[in-house]
Copies of this chain bind each other. A is one copy, B any other.
Amino acid sequence: MIDLVKNYSVMARRLKKSVIRELLSLTNRPGLISFAGGLPSKELFPAEEIKEITEKIIKDSPGAAFQYGSTEGYPPLKEEIVRLMNGRGYDVRPENILITSASQQSIDMTMKLFIDASDPVFVEQPSYPGGINSMAACGARFVGIPADDDGINTDILEEKLKYMVKEGEHYKLIYTIPDFQNPSGVTLSAERRHRLIELSKIYNFIIVEDTPYRDLRFEGNAPSPLFQMTEPGNVISLHTFSKVFVPGFRLGWICAHPDIIRKLAIMKQSTDLCSSSFTQAITAEYLRRDLLDEHVKVIIPAYRKKRDCMISALEEFMPEGVSWTHPEGGLFLWVRLPEYMDSEKLFYEAINRNVAYVIGSAFSPDGACRNNMRLNFSYPTEEQIREGISRLADLIKSHIGR
């Protein structure tokens, strides 16, 4: 056999086996309560509506649903997305939209559009591993910016920017998840949003706003999307149907300046030609019937209840020295253990106690956040949440002072 490793490209050699995947492969055991996934709750999928719409689509427009589609996306779906967004405080047109095969593709193409090997990129610390992996594949050099309960710390970002300008470094972009961030659940405050936009203008960098959870707000007011706060050339906004509809359709979209959309469409053409016409046609009809808004109204109270359940279980069971975020929406919260604990080491014991989470260091390109864990509250039942948090708390207590 040919020596493959010798033949792999530089990009291929940058691809590392995912620690999370390795760890998650251990969670497939009966009785295990998993807080590890980022999955929507399966009981809430709108199966009946999809069944009815699919029948209609196959009957009325099999040509459009089964044939190749345009790279930019199925035009009726683009129209519906425009209507959806403009109903939510955006001001966009079909030329601002590229349909993608869901968020990971949006992130990956956006990063490939801008990042060359050794380019510095600013990322929240912690951040989404899928984003980190796509940037790493391009050879990005990560500049982590700490985040707190108001999101990314814009003062520290400014310091770094000043330093990099002085050093003549050619940074290009910041990757941020401003709404109910993955993993922390934290939302970037209105004040910090304004500061971030100001900085992007002063220091000339692109903001990649990844916002899969924005519609899942349980309470409080949503700050403006970054995309609406500046010229559209400066913010690229990534959206998905995976968290509010069904991930199995693999559909999302990029909202950006038409020049960027045109360039991304050329890239998408050689990436996968087009996204599924079939799932696009179903989704367009689902939106046309205004079913998404109705569905979101069903998901929100269900997830809010689960979040409340998890927060009260944490309050009830966790020992002193352990803290957590209080997300106003989304799927996740972020637990901080005492500094001396290592959530990766604890993970194997957690599995033995039949409870799983994602280790904190998975959310950092340099292995930081070792004393954190990400907990998902959307997928498990309330009963599982209480039991699982109780198991986790027992484990953590057994390590206090060790």
Task: List the interface of chain A (C-beta within 8 A of B).
Answer: 1-4, 7-12, 15-18, 21, 39-40, 42, 45, 47, 50-51, 54-55, 58-59, 62-69, 101-102, 104-105, 108, 112-116, 119, 130, 133-134, 137-138, 172-173, 200, 204-206, 231-234, 242, 246-250, 257, 259-260, 263, 266-267, 269-279
Inter-subunit contact A231/B102 (CB<8 Å): no
What distance in Å separates the Cβ of A153 from its nearest Cβ neighbour in chain B? 23
Of the candidates A1, A62, A233, A267, the one having the most CB atoms from chain B within 10 angstroms of its own CB is: A62
Q: A62-B45, A234-B2 are in contact. Are A272 and B101 (CB under 8 A)?
A: yes
Known: A104-B270, A270-B130. A114 touches B12 (CB 8 A): yes
Can you name 11 A-B residue pairings with CB atoms under 8 Å?
A: A4-B260, A7-B206, A12-B114, A12-B263, A12-B267, A39-B67, A54-B58, A101-B275, A102-B273, A108-B270, A278-B279
Q: Note all chain B residues with C-beta closer than 8 A to A40.
A: 67
Which of B134, B138, B248 contacts A276 (CB under 8 A)?
Answer: B248
With most chain B CB atoms within 10 A of its CB, the pick from A47, A50, A234, A271 is: A271
CA of A250 to CA of B102, assembled, Å:
13
Query: Which residues of B are found within 8 Å of A62, using beta-carbon distances?
Result: 42, 45, 47
Residues of chain B contacted by A269 (CB below 8 angstroms): 18, 21, 104, 130, 133
CA distance A113 to B11 in the complex (A): 7
Q: Which residues of B contact A272 (CB under 8 A)?
A: 101-102, 104-105, 108, 250, 272
Nearest CB on B from A334, distance (A): 21
Which of these, B17, B112, B138, contacts A266 with CB under 8 Å? B17
Once the chains bind, are B270 and A249 in contact (CB under 8 Å)?
no
Query: Which residue of B39, B54, B67, B232 is within 8 Å of A247 (Cβ)?
Result: B67
Cα(A54)–Cα(B3), bound, Å: 43
* B273 in contact with A10 (CB, 8 Å): no
User: Separation in Å of the A15 CB from the closest CB of chain B?
Assistant: 5
User: What residues of chain B lie closer than 8 Å to A271, measured between beta carbons?
Assistant: 104-105, 108, 271
Residues of B within 8 A of A266 (CB): 15-18
Contact A1–B69 (Cβ < 8 Å): no
- A16 and B259 CA atoms in complex are apart in Å by 13
Are A276 and B263 touching (Cβ within 8 A)?
Answer: no
For this chain, the copies found in one complex come to: 2
Closest approach, in angstroms, between the C-beta of A348 and any C-beta of chain B?
23
Look across to chain B and name the residue whose beta carbon is closest to the beta carbon of A277. B248
Q: How far is it, in angstroms, between the C-alpha of A134 and the C-alpha of B260 when the chains are bound? A: 19
Known: A104-B271, A133-B270. 15 other contacts (CB 8 A): A1-B231, A3-B204, A4-B233, A7-B114, A9-B113, A51-B55, A54-B55, A54-B58, A65-B248, A68-B242, A104-B270, A134-B270, A137-B270, A271-B271, A272-B272
Which B residues lie within 8 Å of A130 (CB)? 269-270, 273
User: What is the distance, in angstroms, from A256's C-beta to the closest C-beta of chain B?
Assistant: 10
- Contact partners of A234 in chain B: CB under 8 A: 1-2
CB pair A68–B45 under 8 Å, yes or no, is no
* Nearest opposing residue in chain B for A64, CB measure: B248
Q: A47-B66, A105-B271, A248-B278 are in contact. Are A1 and B42 (CB under 8 A)?
A: no
Q: Which residues of B contact A231 (CB under 8 A)?
A: 1
**Residue from the list B47, B58, B115 in contact with A50, Cβ < 8 A:** B58
Q: Which residue of chain B is the closest to A137 with respect to CB atoms?
A: B270
For A66, what are the chain B residues with a Cβ–Cβ distance below 8 Å?
A: 42, 45, 47, 50, 246-249
Residues of B within 8 A of A137 (CB): 267, 270
Give CA–CA (A112, B205) in the complex, Å.
27
The distance from the CB of A275 to the nearest CB of chain B, in whole angstroms, is 7
Separation in Å of the A397 CB from the closest CB of chain B?
A: 33
